[in-house]
Amino acid sequence: MHPTGSTHFLAPAAPETRRTTVIRVRNAVIVRNCASSSGKSAICVELQRLLLRPFLAFAVDTLVATLPPASPTREPRIVVGSDGVMAVDECFRQLEHAWYQGLAAIACDGVVVIIDEVFLGGRESQDRLRFALAGLQVVGGRAL
């Protein structure tokens, strides 16, 4: 819990009303879970433009881009099968866990965080993030 108590930020109401709604939350995390290339990142940029209180946006693409590359001595961390199914190794899971813990730590320090995620593993993927965000106020991410 952040020592200063509640955080305040403005969230836009439905576009047709053109009003804003004040949401009072502690340790806010906004989770956007949609398919790849569905506009999540554009929504994050628009939220950063509209909301009164600044927040940090983090996309799963950043985690993937920072993974060590495969090499002759190291297997790839993520493999896409010919059927389109993605498989990850144990090292990826460890790095993902650290990533989620880092995002939760930022939120615990009073910064509003938006997570742009793609839950390819369904419920198991959601559970991993839910575990990391335990005790934080999560907005969005219907399945969380």
pLDDT (mean) for 90-108: 92
Total Cβ atoms within 10 A of residue 40: 21
Considering the domain boundaries, does residue 34 fall inside one?
A: yes
Specify the number of domains making up the chain: 1
pLDDT over threshold 90, residue 97: yes
pLDDT of residue 27: 62
Select, from the ranges 2-11, 95-104, 110-119, 130-139, the one with the highest average predicted confidence (pLDDT): 95-104
Of the residues 61, 89, 109, 116, only one is catalytic, namely 61
Considering the domain boundaries, does residue 105 fall inside one?
A: yes
Q: What is the CATH number of the domain that holds 49?
A: 3.40.50.300
Considering the domain boundaries, does residue 13 fall inside one?
A: no
Distances (CA, A) of 78 to 4, 5, 13, 60, 125: 40, 40, 39, 13, 15
Considering the domain boundaries, does residue 17 fall inside one?
A: no
Name the residue range of residue 116's domain: 27-140
pLDDT (mean) for 97-120: 90
Assess whether 61 carries a catalytic annotation: yes
pLDDT of residue 86: 80
Considering the domain boundaries, does residue 49 fall inside one?
A: yes
Considering the domain boundaries, does residue 61 fall inside one?
A: yes
Considering the domain boundaries, does residue 110 fall inside one?
A: yes
pLDDT (mean) for 67-92: 80
pLDDT over threshold 80, residue 128: yes
Under the banding of pLDDT at 50, 70 and 90, the label for residue 33 is confident
DSSP per residue, 62-126: HHHHTSPPPBTTB--SEEE-TTS-EEE-HHHHHHHHHHHHHHHHHHHTT-EEEEEE--TTTHHHH
Under the banding of pLDDT at 50, 70 and 90, the label for residue 25 is low
Considering the domain boundaries, does residue 31 fall inside one?
A: yes
